[in-house]
Structure 1
Amino acid sequence: MAVTLYNLKSESGLKKLDEYLLTRSYISGYQASKDDITVYSALSSVPSDEFVNVSRWYKHIDALLRISGVSGEGSGVTVESSSLVAEEAVATPPAADSKATEAEDDDDDDDVDLFGEETEEEKKAAEDRAAAMKASGKKKESGKSSVLMDVKPWDDETDMKKLEEAVRSVEMEGLFWGASKLVPVGYGIKKLQIMLSIVDDLVSVDTLIEERLTVEPINEYVQSCDIVAFNKI
């Protein structure tokens, strides 16, 4: 599903993007992708807190970029400078920008393809690093995962603000909390849907839930936790 967003440097464009992100954690899918980087790069400055959803999304993507928590996947997103409507449609991938095409054809060593295939030089450098680490007895760098979790309260009288504060108070080496939103369940009850990134060798999601999120004092607010999506980064 291709996504087209318009005129993100205007207040009207940001308002449309804010509405689009009201029910989404990312531009497409359940994990950060190059679609998020495309929109992130199209914004001329940090969004005002007036646009709550855009601001929340921007800060989360900015944090993920700092820890390389963005995948190279995506469904294809186009940012236009005219019109003021955000729309979704099944379509072919957007035509490549002429400047981008020229950059791809340019062999300048200063150009960096963040999502391209490894060159022979990069492969050799990676092999040399692996050999050096093996020789020094160091462990291979651990992988990371992106997790989407549902956190359910006891009833409609549970203070959801305090519930989220309790969840985010859990700190573990290799655990990074991300964007969140409240999702209606029924009968006036809402659940907290929250993103987190983990370093696989340091954090077990099962241990996080069973030993940190559903025990005292957090279980005063949290009834249960469910994993909605789990993706390797």
Structure 2
Amino acid sequence: MAVTFHDFTSAAGLKKLDDFLLSRSYISGYQASKDDLTVYSALSSAPSAEYVNVSRWYTHIDALLRISGVESEGCGVVVKGSAPITEEAIATPPSTETKAAAAEDDDDDDVDLFGEETEEEKKAAEERAAAVKASTKKKESGKSSVLMDVKPWDDETDMKKLEEAVRSVEMEGLLWGASKLVPVGYGIKKMTIMLTIVDDLVSVDTLIEERLTVEPINEYVQSCDIVAFNKI
């Protein structure tokens, strides 16, 4: 079912989007789609840090567009009060390195349109190619956004203390995000929480097995499940 948003130039419109993204990595489904592009293109600029969830999502989509683009169709989200998404918005924007290389090529053409490539020009081209390759590798080994369910032992578990216990876990490359309580049944609630990890530094399996389900945290936490795992 399509989701409808309204005027992102207003605080109310951004607040609705921020609340919507509290427990979601994407506008619809578990991967970036044209729904995300529709909302992304409707935002005139990066959102204020006041809107934590929108800022996290916007940074992720911006990075995806620069690295690989977006192909999935989505569910047909509607943003009232904004222009419809164009095909150009779906294309992957050129990287800074590509733009710089193109500018330098233009400069070379101005000097000698039909001249042979000099040794200096060959060396500069090789250095630019190496820089682009290195930048791409660095992005590929970047970060991931994780959505996790944390379940208590029973309805008598203090959920505030459960959250404090989970957030007390500190690791290099781990950043805890927004959380909320979701009813499960029989008076029991689970906590859904967002976290961002640096892939080379944090293993989600290790985080759960060696940090979140051992003493003293397992006094409150019965189990943890990964709901969504997405590269940033």
User: What TM-score does the superposition give when structure 2 sets the normalisation length?
Assistant: 0.62
Partner of 2:53: 60
Once the two structures are superposed, the pairs formed by residues 147-162 of structure 1 within 5 Å of their partners are 147-162=146-161
Cα separation, partners in 2 of 1:211 and 1:114, compared to 1, 3 Å: farther
Name the larger-Rg structure. 2
Indicate which of 76, 84, 87 corresponds to 1:95: 84
Q: Deviations over 1:50-102 (max 9, x none)?
A: xxxxxxxx2134256668885444736443239xxxxxxxxxxx8346xx97x
Does residue 176 of structure 2 align to residue 174 of structure 1? no
Same amino acid, percent of matched pairs: 62
Partner of 1:28: 28
Partner of 2:5: 5
Whole-Å Cα distance in 1 between the matches of residues 48 and 183 of structure 2? 32
- Give ranges in structure 1 of 5+ residues lacking alignment: 48-57, 83-93, 105-112, 134-138
Q: CA RMSD in A?
A: 4.3
Whole-Å Cα distance in 1 between the matches of residues 163 and 92 of structure 2? 34
Structure 2: which amino acid aligns with 1:207?
T
Whole-Å Cα distance in 1 between the matches of residues 132 and 49 of structure 2? 38
3-state SS of 1:129 partner:
helix
Structure 2: which amino acid aligns with 1:148?
L
Give 1:13 deviation, angstroms: 4.5
Q: Deviations over 1:27-60 (max 9, x none)?
A: 333467546644665798666xxxxxxxxxx213
User: What TM-score does the superposition give when structure 1 sets the normalisation length?
Assistant: 0.62
- Give ranges in structure 2 of 5+ residues lacking alignment: 103-124
Indicate which of 93, 100, 125 corresponds to 1:116: 93
Structure 2: which amino acid aligns with 1:60?
N
Considering fraction of residues, name the structure with more helix: 2
Cα separation, partners in 2 of 1:162 and 1:37, compared to 1, 3 Å: farther
Does residue 188 of structure 2 align to residue 189 of structure 1? yes
Give 1:209 deviation, angstroms: 0.5
